């Protein structure tokens, strides 16, 4: 076990060092450093990969004699990682890296010029390589299962599709009903919010909910993210807009939610591949919980609004708590996923999930993708993209070869409510606590049931153990109906 752990620590350190370089690239590195930096990162990542699939690692895993439950989990889960990694030929990994490098450039050009045909041949190549990747990994039912499993271990296409269909059949008419209700005024969030004050207020609230700044920090980047260099150094980034309150504040709560998950992992897992979130869906459940279920609740703003008013007197002195609460919760179907509100967001994801499957199954050709996208968007959300830049070209994910990634965003939303409901059962006065600015019991509950486990338990196991049920659509749909039904008087 000791020799195995030493080897796993070397692999982990290489990946963590690569993460530092990637973080620097997005925050402080001058533009001209990009070419050299991508080579440095590739070197570290491939060294880590080679060590993982090396025969010596397999031998140590085979010979290991775990004498604790945690060590047994380590051997079992890393053995599975190794088996999966060994199934994919390195030639295919290299082809994918090259294809996605080109596809990313083509995607940027296609999006800025609103010219889908520039991207189309690259996208065909990406989907083709992803099908090869799925075949190499193997699957029980359909190739998409193998792609999904990379991001959401143990989830199957059938399971996810069934849950998404449940959401969709109730959500589409609900969004339509909101569209016919009196619109809410978003004015208060689109006023002048000085950047320095946004920063201070966001950090104050992030720390208040439990983000540990002795083991974390925030910097600026074009696209906000969180990243972990170890359990004791987990960082976030944000972006600021002078005349829009939401991106920085809710972005900070979101990324702090991700970071608190990583900060809460059992320290004894440090230096092993288990010191990580168990799946992207579970990770997103943590960020969405703090961003939406806490951060966009009326209870939270009963606590935070007086501080917000004194921090932003110019923007908020003539705004009431109710007006502010409505402004941060306005529902407005739009064509752009990253601007979507809490209610419509999942429909953006389900659209991508369905199209990915149809592409992988060969039922939709790349050339027909823009029309398929626009038709579905119009029938579900009642809005039609004016051009492909606002439609099929809006996201970077496909150019990177990340097929099977999108559904994890919606899975996170669904899981966040299931877990929040379970936490509330154990903490019956949770709303009172939030109203009083007390978040430590909720965080403690998440530490016990979710965070500490790292990758030792799968998302399904965590859900089962803490909620007594598997992934389900009902709790999220009930939450949305209750909250937004009240706000919109439906």
Tell me which residues touch Zn ion (CB under 5 A). 287
For 237, the enclosing helix (H) or strand (E) is strand 233-238
Closer by beta carbon to Zn ion, 144 or else 409: 409
HEC string for 288-301: HHHHHHHCCCHHHH
> Exposed, middle or buried, 40 (CB in 10 Å: 0-12/13-18/19+)?
middle
Closer by beta carbon to Zn ion, 346 or else 374: 346
Closer by beta carbon to Zn ion, 78 or else 260: 260
Closest Cα to residue 133, out of 158, 118, 150?
A: 150
Per the CB < 8 A criterion, the answer to whether 25 and 289 are in contact is no
Q: CB of residue 153 vs Zn ion: minimum separation in angstroms?
A: 18
> Helix, strand or coil for residue 124?
helix
Cα–Cα distance measured from residue 373 to residue 81, given in angstroms and rounded to the nearest whole number: 35
Closer by beta carbon to Zn ion, 278 or else 287: 287
Cα–Cα distance measured from residue 401 to residue 450, given in angstroms and rounded to the nearest whole number: 29
In the bound complex, which residue of the shown chain has the CB atom lying closest to Zn ion? 287
> Helix, strand or coil for residue 469?
coil
Closer by beta carbon to Zn ion, 238 or else 374: 238
Q: CB of residue 441 vs Zn ion: minimum separation in angstroms?
A: 24
> Helix, strand or coil for residue 155?
coil
Q: CB of residue 254 vs Zn ion: minimum separation in angstroms?
A: 6
Q: Give the angle subtended at the CA of 133 by the CAs of 130 and 137, to the nearest 5°.
A: 140
Cα–Cα distance measured from residue 454 to residue 166, given in angstroms and rounded to the nearest whole number: 30
Rounded to whole angstroms, the maximal C-alpha distance in the chain is 69
Closest Cα to residue 301, out of 343, 356, 245, 369?
A: 245
**Residue 115 phi/psi, 5° resolution?**
-135, 80
Closer by beta carbon to Zn ion, 279 or else 287: 287
Closer by beta carbon to Zn ion, 125 or else 455: 455
Closer by beta carbon to Zn ion, 287 or else 413: 287
Q: List residues with catalytic annotation.
A: 255
Per the CB < 8 A criterion, the answer to whether 106 and 399 are in contact is yes
Please, what sign has the CA dihedral across residues 107, 397, 289, 236? negative
Q: CB of residue 190 vs Zn ion: minimum separation in angstroms?
A: 24
Buried-exposed string 269-280: b where 16+ CB fall within 10 A, e elsewhere: bebbbbbbbbbb
Contacts 24+ apart (CB under 8 A), 432-441: 432/299, 434/294, 434/297, 434/299, 434/300, 434/303, 435/299, 435/300, 435/302, 435/303, 436/303, 437/208, 437/303, 437/304, 439/208, 439/209, 439/210, 439/294, 440/210
Q: CB of residue 409 vs Zn ion: minimum separation in angstroms?
A: 7
């Amino acid at each position: 076990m000791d020799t195995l752990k030493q080897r796993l620590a070397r692999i982990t350190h290489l990946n963590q060092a690569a993460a530092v370089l990637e973080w620097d690239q997005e925050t402080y590195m001058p533009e001209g450093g990009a070419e050299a930096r991508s080579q440095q990162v590739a070197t570290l990542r491939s060294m880590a990969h080679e060590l993982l699939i090396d025969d010596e690692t397999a031998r140590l895993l085979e010979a290991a004699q775990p004498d604790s439950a945690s060590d047994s989990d380590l051997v079992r889960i890393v053995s599975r990682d190794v088996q999966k990694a060994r199934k994919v030929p390195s030639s295919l990994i290299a082809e994918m890296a090259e294809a996605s490098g080109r596809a990313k450039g083509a995607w940027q050009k296609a999006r800025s010029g609103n010219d889908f045909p520039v991207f189309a041949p690259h996208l065909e190549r990406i989907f083709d390589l992803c099908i090869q990747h799925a075949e190499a990994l193997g699957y029980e039912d359909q190739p998409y299962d193998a792609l999904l499993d990379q991001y959401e271990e143990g989830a199957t296409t059938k399971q996810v599709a069934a849950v998404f269909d449940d959401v969709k059949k109730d959500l589409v008419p609900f969004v339509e009903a909101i569209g016919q209700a009196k619109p809410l005024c978003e004015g208060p969030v689109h006023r002048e919010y000085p950047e320095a004050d946004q920063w201070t207020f966001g950090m104050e609230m992030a720390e208040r909910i439990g983000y540990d700044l002795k083991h974390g920090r925030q910097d600026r980047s074009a696209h906000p993210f969180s990243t972990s260099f170890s359990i004791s150094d987990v960082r976030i980034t944000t972006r600021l807009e002078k005349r829009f309150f939401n991106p920085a504040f809710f972005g900070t709560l979101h990324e702090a939610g991700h970071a608190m998950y990583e900060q809460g992992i059992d320290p004894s897992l440090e230096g092993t591949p288990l010191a990580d979130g168990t799946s992207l869906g579970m990770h997103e459940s943590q960020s969405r919980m703090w961003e939406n279920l806490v951060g966009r609740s009326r209870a939270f703003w009963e606590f935070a609004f007086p501080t917000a008013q004194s921090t932003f007197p110019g923007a908020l002195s003539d705004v009431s708590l109710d007006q502010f609460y409505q402004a941060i919760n306005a529902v407005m179907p739009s064509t752009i996923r990253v601007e979507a509100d809490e209610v419509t967001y999942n429909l953006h994801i389900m659209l991508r999930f369905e199209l990915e499957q149809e592409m992988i199954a060969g039922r939709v050709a790349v050339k027909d993708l823009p029309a398929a996208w626009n038709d579905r968007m119009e029938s579900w959300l009642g809005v039609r993209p004016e051009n492909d830049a606002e439609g099929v070209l809006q996201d970077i994910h496909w150019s990177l070869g990340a097929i099977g990634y999108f559904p994890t965003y919606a899975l996170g939303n669904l899981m966040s409510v299931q877990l929040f409901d379970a936490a509330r059962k154990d903490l019956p006065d949770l709303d009172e606590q939030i109203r009083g600015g007390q978040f430590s019991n909720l965080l403690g509950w998440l530490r016990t049931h979710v965070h500490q486990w790292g990758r030792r338990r799968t998302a399904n196991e965590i859900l089962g153990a803490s909620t007594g049920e598997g992934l389900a659509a009902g709790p999220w749909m009930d939450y949305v109906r209750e909250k937004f039904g009240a706000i919109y008087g439906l």
